[in-house]
Chains A and B, each alone.
Chain A
Amino acid sequence: MPQVSMTVNGKPASGDVEGRTLLVEFLRENVGLTGTHVGCDTSQCGACVVHVDGRDVKACTMFAAEAEGAEVTTIEGMGEPDGTLHPVQQAFQDHHGLQCGFCTPGMVMSAVALLEKNPKPSEAEIRDYLEGNICRCTGYHNIVKAIMAASGQDVGRIAAE
């Protein structure tokens, strides 16, 4: 089996994989980082979103071998080593941006990618950017609110829909 090597959350990670091994399988089973979830396994739901060389991608629709040499960041790499949450994670907690929490890792990773490109997105821009992230609890309202709050914007005026 060929070997694949990459950097995951700042640490080197390598292992023997099959050609068909998906990046999400490598992260969960070889590296032991189970924060990245597999929801639909058909690239619809976005629970598996991670960052590869700074770009948000669906780890269920990318082969591990494609990440050879890449810098990969997962939800486990978002907070500080002392357990301090990333501002987006903290905002999800503060604004109750989750119900069951299954979609949350992907939501956070997509939100962080959005804010890197667009530090002050409008509500419409947030909803548009999250079109590839599905929350089965349909808790979108507080997710959008949390992302607005994380970007330093006033969330008081977002009406419940």
Chain B
Amino acid sequence: MYAFDFTRPRTIDEAAKALGAEDAQALGGGQTLIPALKQRLAMPSTLVSLSAIPEMQGVCRADDGSVCVGGATPHAVVAAQAAGDFPALADLALNIGDPAVRNRGTIGGSLANNDPSSCYPAAVLGTGATVVTNTRKIAADEFFDGMFTTALEEGEIIVEVRFPVPRRAAYAKFEQPASRFALVGAFVAQYDDGVRVAVTGASEDGVFRWAEAEKALGAEFSADALDGMAPSAEGMIGDLHGSPEYRAHLVGVMTRRAVAAAG
């Protein structure tokens, strides 16, 4: 690692101020950033830890019924605290990485990084959640902007994520067994006004909504409604773990499994 200064502010305002310094970078749980720093893929002047800001921790239920997750909440805490109000989200969090990683990695860190194979983007896009930062609210459909790219400005902090709770929902992940990232993961959520389907791990553009499946499931919410359906292989990721055609096929399979799991 290159050397850097380290600061651990107690409030969002202090963190925003610290992030105003040139080449300062926010640190969530560090489960992706620390390995990247070890490989000298990043050279921040200062790391601003977001782990000691009480108002960015924990899961709560807002007055409008949505489930709010503090930006610095570790996956294990989401798994425990969201289990009653939003079991599909808790289940997704419970299957990220391994237990020790889940005790450090945070929802805000995962979303800001927007790894094309990470799980949380599927839940955020699949529910049409709102990403609340220290300066504004960003709708999920506006937040993800391609692989490792988001709508966040330099120094902007994810303070909270607000999930509208679906009537029913589930996430199905085909796990890459070594990394435990999603080779393909599908999040399906049914609301009074329609169904949302978000897919991670598959596309070269990162997480995306599968419009054809949303339409079919809106007409009939059953795995059979997606019989034989799969998105085009064009633009899907091809690597040693799977070809674009394989991933496109898996999108159909995992979406059907998610629908079946949602019941």
| A contact set with B: CB distance below 8 Å | 2, 18-20, 22, 41-43, 46, 49, 55-58, 61-63, 65-66, 68, 110, 113-114, 129, 131-133
Do A61 and B3 touch (CB < 8 A)?
A: no
Min C-beta distance of A44 to chain B, whole Å: 8
Q: Counting CB contacts under 8 A, is B66 at the interface?
A: no
A41 to B98, CA, bound (A): 16
Partner of B3, one of A18, A43, A63: A18
Do B8 and A43 touch (CB < 8 A)?
A: no
Min C-beta distance of A2 to chain B, whole Å: 7
Q: Counting CB contacts under 8 A, is B99 at the interface?
A: yes
Min C-beta distance of B86 to chain A, whole Å: 21
Contact A68:B8 (CB < 8 A) given known A56-B100, A58-B100, A132-B97: yes
Which residues of the partner chain B approach A129 to less than 8 Å between Cβ atoms?
A: 99
Interface size class of B (residues with CB under 8 A): 20 to 34
Interface 1/0 per residue, B1-19 and A, CB below 8 Å: 1111110100000000000
- Ordered by A's residue number, 23 sampled pairs between the chains whose C-beta atoms are within 8 Å are A2-B6, A18-B3, A20-B4, A41-B38, A43-B34, A46-B98, A55-B76, A55-B103, A56-B100, A57-B104, A61-B35, A61-B101, A62-B104, A63-B27, A63-B34, A63-B49, A66-B8, A68-B8, A110-B99, A131-B98, A131-B99, A132-B100, A132-B101
Given A42-B38, A110-B99; 17 other pairs, CB 8 A cutoff:
A19-B5, A19-B6, A19-B46, A20-B2, A42-B35, A43-B101, A46-B98, A46-B100, A56-B103, A58-B100, A61-B30, A62-B104, A63-B49, A66-B51, A68-B8, A129-B99, A132-B101
Do B101 and A65 touch (CB < 8 A)?
A: no
| B contact set with A: CB distance below 8 Å | 1-6, 8, 27, 30-31, 34-35, 37-38, 46-47, 49, 51-52, 76, 97-101, 103-104, 180
Q: Which of B4, B37, B76, B99 has the most CB of A within 10 A?
A: B99
Which residues of the partner chain A approach B103 to less than 8 Å between Cβ atoms?
A: 55-57
A156 to B2, CA, bound (A): 52
A110 to B99, CA, bound (A): 9
